[in-house]
Amino acid sequence: MQTNKLRVFSGIQPTGNIHLGNYLGAVKNWVERQDSYENVFCVVNSHAITLPQNPKILKEKTYDLCAMLLACGINPKKSTLFIQSKVQEHTSLAWLLTCITPMGDLSRMTQFKDKSQKNPKSIFAGLFNYPNLMSADILLYKSNLVPVGEDQKQHIELARDTAIRFNRDFGETFVVPEPLIMQEGARIMGLDDPTKKMSKSSSDKPNHSIALIDTPDRIVKKIKKATTDSEGIIAFHKERAGVYNLLTIYQCFTKQTQEEIESEFAGLGYGKLKERVAEAVIEGLRPIRESYEKLILEQDYLHKILDVGAQTAQKIATATYTEAKEKMGLI
């Protein structure tokens, strides 16, 4: 997989259902930039077990997510797609990095604080060490860029610090990655609470997110119940979180400018806004849902793509891990 392009690494967990926020904030950008970069896309199932999981469901969700990524447009001829646990060097390198990462750096990670507060009875060492596995994911492929939202930037900073520390202490080994911050559509908020980012962990709130596998009827019902306000003016005002969120979703699918959208909805009410947003989402997701429904039935084809992806990733991972291991004095 040698090219002159910058290498990009992206990972996504197979927990919950992939939703509109995941798609518009990350996956859609991955798909659109496949020709610009050398892409490594990973379903990070080893990250998922930092919190308790049902093994059978985790396995099913892992393959479901792989099928959905292909349905979204990840092209195995242009990008490497594989399952994290198929390449053991991820966890092996994570151990090396754990041995050179100060506990103070890990204790400052905001995601650890958030998840441990939400799951006070399930705080395991893996959750604390989660950022080192993320650093290993990135550094293993000598990634130049990592597409992230602002809320993930802290983890990229840790990966950068870790790479710099390792290179300084053991010799030049890792590329120091740069964050590739997504702008438009990078933060799609919850329909029920537009002050909080749309999340896969809010499965107990049926109107919080739109799953990519939702039927048109479900999409309409969820958007009809989306939180707005009492002002009745349809405009891109960030302080009016509910309306701004709906307009952002609409813009992501229609590709219109803010001025064009505000002109379109001038004098109209929130009912019409929600109606057109629902139409745009349904039409935008239709080919993805149809492709997914076919792919999930073609398990042999799916496994073949993932096996080839794992083989490609394995070559890079083996070389990098071997180099790092030897420089640390391990045989």
Count of H-run helices and E-run strands, the chain: 14, 5
**97: which 2 tokens?**
């990095």
The answer to whether 197 is a known catalytic residue is yes
Question: Which one-letter amino acid corresponds to residue 195?
Answer: T
Q: Which of 28, 142, 200, 274 is catalytic?
A: 200
Per annotation, catalytic residue among 28, 115, 222, 274: 115
- Which is nearest to 76 in space by CA: 241, 307, 233? 307
Task: Enumerate the H helices of 141-184 as residue ranges.
Answer: 153-170
Read off the DSSP letter of residue 255.
-
Distance CA(192)–CA(205), nearest Å, equals 8
H helices within 99-209, ranges in order?
Answer: 103-107, 110-118, 125-140, 153-170
Counting other chains too, the contacts that 210-213 makes at CB distance below 8 Å and 24 or more residues apart are 210/19, 210/20, 210/281, 211/17, 211/18, 211/19, 211/20, 212/17, 212/18, 212/19, 212/20, 212/22, 212/23, 212/68, 212/72, 212/285, 212/288, 212/289, 212/292, 213/17, 213/68, 213/289, 213/292
Note whether 282 and 216 are within 8 A (CB).
Answer: yes
**How far apart, in Å, do the first and last CA atoms of the chain sit?**
27
Angle at the Cα of 231 (from 230 to 233), degrees rounded to 5?
135
Q: What positions carry a catalytic annotation?
A: 115, 197, 200
